[in-house]
Amino acid sequence: MMSNKPFSQACENNKIPILQVIREVYRQPATVWEIGSGTGQHASYFASQLPHLIWQPTDREENIAGINAWRSEAQLANLNQPIALDVTQSVWPCAGIDALFTANTLHILSWQSVELMFAKLPYYLNPLALICIYGPFNYHGRYTSDSNARFDQWLKDRDPLSGIRESEAVFTLAESQGLRLLNDYAMPANNRLLVFQNRE
């Protein structure tokens, strides 16, 4: 039943534009590890639209039940059981990642947690692994829209450690961990989709 499942209107709004990009990025069969699956809507939708991929949802323990509700309804062979994962934990329950996806997480996490997440990637990503990161970013120290400025203030009022991240800081952090920026796509609603690839 829909009423038993968590629902995000933002996920509903952005799933098709994101699909159009990641369909081109994740061309080869792979298991995509989704960091911060949230409601589970993206996992369910992308698995249904990309049958050549196995989708592996992950999130903090408190969100696993909601993701499972979407998975149970979807009944897809290529949508795995969600795994509890906090990016700040010392060991991640995975190995040999060929593809990684995360949406609307970097502005929710503290910057320290973002740094910890990127620091883990060299240990778990396979050579030439592809990484897609979706969400709002600032450029040259400025908001890309008035709505992003308001959203950032809302985030900081809710949690002073959260906030829209500077794209240049993310690029530098990624490069420091051996990731090369392949593309930076403009997306609807003043969002971006960053595509990185791991070193060989």
Mean pLDDT, 10 residues at a time, the chain of 200 residues: 79 97 98 98 98 98 97 97 96 95 98 98 97 98 98 98 98 98 98 97
**Residue reference for tokens 């039940």:** 65
Q: What CATH code is carried by the domain that includes residue 31?
A: 3.40.50.150
CA angle 127–129–133, rounded 5-degree value: 145
Dihedral sign from CA coordinates of 138, 143, 148, 151: positive
Residue 60: the pLDDT is: 97
Give the DSSP letter string of 95-134: --EEEEEEES-TTTS-HHHHHHHHHHHHHHEEEEEEEEEE
Residue 87 contacts residue 116 (beta carbons within 8 Å): yes
Task: Give the separation between CA 79 and CA 32, rounded to whole angstroms.
Answer: 10
Estimate the crossing angle of helix 64-74 against helix 41-49, to 10 degrees.
30
Q: If you count DSSP H runs as helices and E runs as strands, how many of each does the chain have, helices first?
A: 6, 9
Residue 2: the pLDDT is: 46
Residue 95: the pLDDT is: 87
Question: Is-above-0.75 flag for pTM?
Answer: yes
Q: For residue 110, which amino acid is it?
A: S
Burial (CB count <10 Å: 0-12, 13-18, 19+), residue 184: middle
Q: Which residue range(s) make up the domain with 179?
A: 2-198
* Six token digits for residue 21: 């990009």
Residue 4: the pLDDT is: 80
Residue 87: the pLDDT is: 96
Number of domains in the chain: 1
Residue 8: the pLDDT is: 96
Cα dist from 28 to 22, 42, 85, 164, whole Å: 11, 19, 25, 32
Phi-psi region of 184 (alpha: psi -120 to 50; beta: other; left: phi over 0): beta
